[in-house]
């Protein structure tokens, strides 16, 4: 049997040309899952039978002279908050146990239409609330680079699945960093697209004004390929941008000569581990060596991003999660009255962090506190948008750490929610602004664990962002060399 390539681009090329069968590609990934999934726990569900049937169909189409698409035969893992028709979708919550969506999310349809093979549903922090997957009702996912450490979150399962070689690509969702932070901690590429670029139809809502679906991969080019496949207008999502998907693969080799790239002062100092900050400076030097102009830029309102996010996101969540009432979805705990049944179901079905967010959000939206909390947070959000606008007058892209530290150990931050929330300090601002951002692996920290650097761009400037990401990928120090 020919050896199986590791990237989606190579796999799709080999399957389309008939050089490899989708079935043999799939079996080799199922073997990798069988070998390491027991210790990693990346998946809530492995779809072996469904994937085998889909792979056989792809192979039949190739044999019949058809082209199954740009992702032909590529195994792909789906975060378990993406609706899959007839297949359990749990959001890693007890409250959705037994629920099978009656439809596919738009992204699930699009990847299937492009020939990808859905290989499983990945673990996450319950309802995507968290930064470590420790909030999953089904147990945490472990970081494939060191199983004593978290993979990040909330899309920890999707990041770990790619890092462990269970699938070359996966999809996650990013509300405040949930694609980029786990990508950084697991040493893979992760992209949060511009708000509205990818349809949210069929993504179980956490905070609707912030949620966005995006790719994970081992290479920048694979994320470009996957984002091209899932982006573009969808009439079923009213916030979907009415334009075609961007061309990303075509621009990857255009380099960064003449681009102005800013290091953000507020995200390079206090709270950022020195080895992580040093890697970001090295990344800036690499971009400069490739012809970019590097400067420093202060974005003062970013200091308030975390506080604004932890009011806006819980406020929206408290409203979105009201639908889990014991009637419409999944679990029900019976009781004498409807109100009691609602309360008992929600008490038994939601985990601690989800309850904390619902209470915070309900409080922030309550009549006496709305102006003081939710209203203020919205004003801060506007200030952040304005400050970004000012920064982007002088810079094409911004460069920051993705996460303040490398992957931490299990239990290190679970007793103090605030220390967990601080993980999101670098990633949250782009969600509040609706802008795109991505994490690119850039060597290891002093503990030998991967460091991710974050590129941020103005709305719809993904092509520029991907050009810089490709330069960083080429310049990245090998992961095997710990930071000195
Ligand atoms: N860690 C952040 C939170 O807990 C972000 C989560 C996300 O992006 N889904 O809310």
Question: Quick check: CB of 128 below 6 Å from ligand 1?
Answer: yes
| Span 126-180, pLDDT tens digits | 999 999 999 999 999 999 999 999 999 999 999 999 999 999 999 999 999 999 9
Q: What is the β-pairing status of strands 260-264 and 397-401?
A: parallel
Residue 215: inside a domain:
yes
| Span 36-79, pLDDT tens digits | 999 999 999 999 999 999 999 999 999 999 999 999 999 999 99
Residue 116: inside a domain:
yes
Residue 217: inside a domain:
yes
Helix axes 376-394, 305-320, angle to 10 degrees: 130
For ligand 1, the distance from its centroid to the CA atom of residue 10, given in whole angstroms, is 32
Predicted structure pTM score: 0.98
| Span 260-318, pLDDT tens digits | 999 999 999 989 999 999 999 999 999 999 999 999 999 999 999 999 999 999 999 99
Q: In b/e form, how buried is each residue of 433-457, taking b as 16+ CB within 10 angstroms?
A: bbbbbbbbbbbbbebebbbbbbbbb
For ligand 1, the distance from its centroid to the CA atom of residue 150, given in whole angstroms, is 15
Q: Binning pLDDT at 50, 70 and 90, where does residue 389 land?
A: very high
Q: How many CB atoms lie within 10 A of CB 305?
A: 28
Rg value, the chain, Cα? 21
Residue 37: inside a domain:
yes
Question: Quick check: CB of 174 below 6 Å from ligand 1?
Answer: yes
For ligand 1, the distance from its centroid to the CA atom of residue 310, given in whole angstroms, is 9
Question: Quick check: CB of 262 below 6 Å from ligand 1?
Answer: no
Report how far apart, in Å, the C-alpha atoms of 5 and of each of 9, 23, 27, 52, 69 are.
9, 14, 13, 19, 18
Residue nearest to atom 5 of ligand 1 (CA): 176
Q: In b/e form, how buried is each residue of 128-167, taking b as 16+ CB within 10 angstroms?
A: bbbbbbbbbbbebbbbbbbeebbbbbbbbbbbbbbbbbbb
Residue nearest to atom 10 of ligand 1 (CA): 129
We report the CATH number of the domain holding residue 187 as 3.90.1300.10
**DSSP class of 377:** H
Residue 484: inside a domain:
no
User: Taking the chain, what is the end-to-end CA distance rounded to the nearest angstrom?
Assistant: 42
Question: Quick check: CB of 172 below 6 Å from ligand 1?
Answer: no
Residue 170: inside a domain:
yes
State the sign of the Cα–Cα–Cα–Cα dihedral 152, 156, 161, 162. Answer: negative
Q: Binning pLDDT at 50, 70 and 90, where does residue 2 land?
A: low
Q: Domain total for the chain?
A: 1
For ligand 1, the distance from its centroid to the CA atom of residue 362, given in whole angstroms, is 18
Residue 421: inside a domain:
no
Question: Quick check: CB of 176 below 6 Å from ligand 1?
Answer: yes
Residue 264: inside a domain:
no
Active-site positions? 79, 154, 178
Instruction: List the domain range (segments joined by +) for residue 125.
Output: 8-251
């Amino acid at each position: 049997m020919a050896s199986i390539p590791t990237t989606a681009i190579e796999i799709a090329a080999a399957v389309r040309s008939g050089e490899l069968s989708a079935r043999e590609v799939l079996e080799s990934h199922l073997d990798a899952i069988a070998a390491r999934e027991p210790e990693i726990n990346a998946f809530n569900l492995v779809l072996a039978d469904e994937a085998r049937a889909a792979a056989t169909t792809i192979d039949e189409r190739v044999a019949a002279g058809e082209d199954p698409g740009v992702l032909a035969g590529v195994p792909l893992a789906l975060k378990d908050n993406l609706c899959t028709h007839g297949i359990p979708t749990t959001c890693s919550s007890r409250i959705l146990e037994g629920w099978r969506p009656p439809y596919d999310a738009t992204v699930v349809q699009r990847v299937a239409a492009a020939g990808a093979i859905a290989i499983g549903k990945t673990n996450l922090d319950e309802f995507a609330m968290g930064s470590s997957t420790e909030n999953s009702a089904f147990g945490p996912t472990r970081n494939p680079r060191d199983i004593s450490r978290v993979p990040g979150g909330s899309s920890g399962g999707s990041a770990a699945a790619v890092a462990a070689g269970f699938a070359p690509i996966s999809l996650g969702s990013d509300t405040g960093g949930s694609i980029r932070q786990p990508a950084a901690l697991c040493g893979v590429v992760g992209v949060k697209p511009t708000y509205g670029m990818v349809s949210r139809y069929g993504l179980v809502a956490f905070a609707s004004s912030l949620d966005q679906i995006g790719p994970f991969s081992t290479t920048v080019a694979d994320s470009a390929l996957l984002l091209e496949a899932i982006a573009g207008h969808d009439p079923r999502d009213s916030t979907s941008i009415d334009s075609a998907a961007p061309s990303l693969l075509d621009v990857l080799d255009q380099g960064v000569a003449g681009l102005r790239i800013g290091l953000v002062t507020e995200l390079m100092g206090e709270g950022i581990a020195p080895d992580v900050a040093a890697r970001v400076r090295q990344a800036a030097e690499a971009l400069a060596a490739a012809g970019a102009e590097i400067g420093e830029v202060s974005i003062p309102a970013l200091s308030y991003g975390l506080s604004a996010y932890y009011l806006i996101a819980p406020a929206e969540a408290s409203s979105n999660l009201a639908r889990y009432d014991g009637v419409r979805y999944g679990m029900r705990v019976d009781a004498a009255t409807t109100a009691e049944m609602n309360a008992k179901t929600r008490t038994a079905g939601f985990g601690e962090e989800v309850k904390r967010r619902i209470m915070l959000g309900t409080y922030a939206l309550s009549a006496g506190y709305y102006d003081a909390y939710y209203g203020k947070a919205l004003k801060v959000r506007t200030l952040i948008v304005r400050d970004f606008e000012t920064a982007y007058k002088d810079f094409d892209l911004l460069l920051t750490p993705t996460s303040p530290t490398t992957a931490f150990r299990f239990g290190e931050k679970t007793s103090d929610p605030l220390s967990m929330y601080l993980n999101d300090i670098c990633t949250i601002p782009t969600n509040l602004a609706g802008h795109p951002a991505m994490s690119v692996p850039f060597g290891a920290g002093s503990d030998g664990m991967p460091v991710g650097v974050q590129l941020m761009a103005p709305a719809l400037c993904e092509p520029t962002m991907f050009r810089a990401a490709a330069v960083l990928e080429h310049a990245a120090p090998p992961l095997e060399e710990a930071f000195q």
